[in-house]
């Protein structure tokens, strides 16, 4: 049995084609980055992007190079995440654990009749997990960021035909 190093799967690249000049796309990337609270350091026809992301119960930061290339009559914005850093929302996990305990209490009272007086509390705890955490889970990542770039280009450049312009 021999040891082999773990394989690292590269993060997928995200791209969007936009109408207009690459300079206008660069300005739209800067405006979208400011709106998202991202750090964008422009360098030539691109730059370095550190993008805050949300993936369910995880929050984090994706960082990597962003390139703006000429593509036909428009521009192509390509984000290649090179590093990711996620952390778990511990408060949401704690609420879900309390909700799971409430759900168990609600289900267990027929087996243990002495739990009947607190079965309603168990139901309330179980539903609170849904209303406080599960119904509010969102995903916000590079694809949504690029749609925001397209929206900024459509609004700022007067081009309402930009993809994602109605977002």
pLDDT at 11: 76
DSSP labels for the chain? Answer: ----PPP-PPPPPEEEEEES-HHHHHHHHHHHHHHHT-EEEE-SSEEEEEEEEEETTEEEEEEEEEEEEEETTEEEEEE---EEEEEE-HHHHHHHHHHHHHHHHHHHTTTSGGGHHHHHHHHHHHHHHHHHTGGG--EE-HHHHHHHHHHHHHHHSS-TTSTTTT-
100 plus 115 within the same structural domain: yes
Domain that includes residue 143, residue range: 14-88+138-156
Q: Is residue 9 part of a domain?
A: no
pLDDT at 6: 62
Q: Is residue 109 part of a domain?
A: yes
Q: Is the pLDDT of residue 72 over 90?
A: no
State the pLDDT confidence band at 158, using cuts at 50, 70 and 90.
very low
Q: Is residue 98 part of a domain?
A: yes
77 plus 36 within the same structural domain: yes
146 plus 64 within the same structural domain: yes
60 plus 101 within the same structural domain: no
pLDDT at 83: 92
| Digit-coded pLDDT (tens) for 30-64 | 999 999 999 999 998 899 999 999 999 999 999 99
State the pLDDT confidence band at 118, using cuts at 50, 70 and 90.
very high
- In percent, the amount of the chain with pLDDT more than 90 equals 69
The CATH number of the domain holding residue 150 is 3.30.530.50
Global pTM reads 0.73
Report the pLDDT averaged over residues 90-97. Answer: 94
96 plus 83 within the same structural domain: no
Q: Is the pLDDT of residue 166 over 50?
A: no
Partners of residue 70 on adjacent β-strands:
75
State the pLDDT confidence band at 89, using cuts at 50, 70 and 90.
very high
40 plus 52 within the same structural domain: yes
30 plus 84 within the same structural domain: yes
Distance CA 161, CA 167 (A): 12
Q: Is residue 71 part of a domain?
A: yes
Number of domains in the chain: 2
32 plus 69 within the same structural domain: yes
């Amino acid at each position: 049995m021999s040891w082999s190093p773990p394989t690292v799967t590269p993060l997928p690249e995200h791209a969007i084609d936009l109408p207009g000049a690459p300079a206008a796309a660069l300005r739209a990337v800067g405006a979208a980055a400011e709106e998202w609270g991202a750090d964008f350091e422009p360098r030539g026809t691109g730059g370095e992007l550190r993008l805050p992301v949300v993936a369910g119960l995880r929050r984090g930061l994706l960082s990597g190079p962003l390139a703006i290339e000429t593509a036909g009559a428009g521009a192509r914005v390509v984000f290649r995440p090179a590093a990711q850093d996620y952390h778990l929302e511990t408060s949401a996990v704690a609420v879900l654990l309390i909700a799971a305990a409430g759900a168990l209490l609600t289900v267990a009272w027929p087996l243990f009749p002495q739990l009947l007086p607190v079965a309603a509390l168990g139901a309330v705890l179980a539903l609170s997990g849904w209303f406080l955490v599960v119904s509010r889970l969102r995903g916000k990542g590079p694809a949504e960021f690029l749609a925001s770039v397209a929206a900024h280009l459509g609004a700022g450049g007067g081009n309402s035909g930009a993809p994602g312009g109605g977002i």
